[in-house]
Structure 1
């Protein structure tokens, strides 16, 4: 994968996460504020002040996630972003992390092309 291809996929993933967190059913369940600066998306939980950081790492061709539960790296397998250690999918894993930190069950789905 070229750097340009990676950057396109990474941007689409970040936009998809941000858009999903603005959907009414998510907003009703978890109070989060998203802020994005370039390749870094910060998800802040208003009630407890905790954060999840999602950012792209172009040199490694990976998406990195930092949450209370730990740090995780995801590579695109041609279809989805997969954890480099346990092969879990990014949006499924983020759903669990956000549910844990936000205190309400939510489900994110990838909307990238």
Structure 2
């Protein structure tokens, strides 16, 4: 993957997360605050915990930091997959956001 392709796909991912936060706020009482600064997106929960997603352009990876730990994802041609084989990005984001919000939340690509 070239840098331009990575940035295009990574920006799509960040936009999907932002839109997911907006949808969740419209549909639930989770009260997520998403803050974007360049290639970094921070989701702040009502309990003040955070999930931080940032782009690692030189590595062509997207990193996510949550209370459960830190994760690295690479695009496999179809989906953003964990580099250690621990699953797909949006499934992991949904899992960790649900834990931190104290209710079931669903993010999709």
What range describes the TM-score normalised by the shorter chain of this pair? over 0.9
Q: Distance in 2 between matches of 1:88 and 1:29?
A: 28
Aligned position for 2:97: 98
Structure of greater relative contact order (alpha carbons < 8 Å, 6+ residues apart): 1
Q: 1:87 to 1:77 in 2, by over 3 A?
A: farther
TM-score, normalised to structure 1, is 0.92
After TM superposition, the runs of 4+ consecutive aligned structure 1 residues lying more than 3 A away are: none
CA RMSD of aligned residues (A): 0.8
Q: Distance in 2 between matches of 1:10 and 1:50?
A: 24
Q: Distance in 1 between matches of 2:66 and 2:4?
A: 27
Q: Distance in 1 between matches of 2:86 and 2:69?
A: 16
Q: 5+ unaligned residues in a row in structure 2: which ranges?
A: none
Deviates more, 1:85-94 or 1:60-69: 85-94
> Counting helix residues as a fraction of each chain, which structure ranks higher?
2
Aligned position for 1:74: 73
